[in-house]
Amino acid sequence: MNSTLAKRLSVIKGEGRAALIGYLPAGFPSVDGSIAAIKAMIAGGVDIIEVGFPYSDPVMDGPTIQLAAGRSLAQGTSAIDVLNIVKAVAATGTPTVVMSYWNPIARYGIEKFARDLAQAGGSGVITPDLTIDEASEWLSAVAKYSIDPIFVVAPSTADERLSKVVAACSGFVYAASTMGVTGTRSKVANTAEALVARVHAATDLPVCVGLGVSNAEQANEVAQYADGVIVGSAFVRALLDAPDSAAGLKAVEELARSLADGVRR
């Protein structure tokens, strides 16, 4: 699929570097606040944006993202808000994907979500808890509206299973660096590089690594073997720790600049 996302990843590969992908939950710290923060991330050098669809039972998310998503939900962030945020971000020309657990998509309507996301300018959807065995309806919906389906593989994914998962992906493959939940870590799991090599052996798609990257050194380390470096909790933490919104935007942009330097070194 020749999506905005695929085109951007191809250009970045041509530059001989990894992409920097930044994640933020929709509606955190507010709907307008999340748009402003994402624009600050882009200004700092983030190449691709992942908008989180806040959900009450986020099995893959650690305490930092859970806290942010909880605040977003408490303020009443809806599916329409998520799509409006995608629209505002995609309008900058930055490829924008949604990361969502399956329940909110199923509740909204499978084909309707694919259609409305495409109309908002979204490029793809990461579905961490949707198995490929149960994804046929979703795969036909995203194919109809030219949305990239992005599935998650982990170090525990067996080779035969991995081949099936990556065959269903487009845009990129999300490689979870470790078994566990999102969050900043003192070092990236040593299982990540081996997993990326296994995925590269199974597909020509870019492989982007998430879970645990929080600083320029870690971003640089992962960029040596992955096609993209995904950072989420560190951006959320920068906003949570800021004394006010202006300081939060400054902190997010500075973090993005530092991480962007890491992947470009």
Query: From the CB of residue 217, how many other CB atoms can be counted at a distance below 10 Å?
Result: 14
Q: In what helix (H) or strand (E) does residue 53 lie, and over which residues does it extend?
A: none
Choosing from 50, 193, 221, 227, the catalytic residue is 50
Q: What is the residue whose two structure tokens read 């951007």?
A: 8
Token pair recorded at residue 156:
């525990």
Classified as helix, coil or strand, 178 is: coil
Choosing from 15, 32, 57, 61, the catalytic residue is 61
Q: Is there a catalytic annotation at residue 50?
A: yes
Q: Residue 54 — φ and ψ, nearest 5°?
A: -60, 135
* Rounded-to-5 percentages of helix, strand, coil across the chain: 50, 15, 35
- Asked if omega into 29 is within 30° of 0 (cis), the reply is yes
Stated length of the chain: 265
Q: What is the C-alpha separation between 140 and 146, in angstroms, rounded?
A: 10
Q: Let me know: does 100 contact 55? Beta carbons within 8 Å.
A: yes
Q: Kindly list the catalytic residues.
A: 50, 61
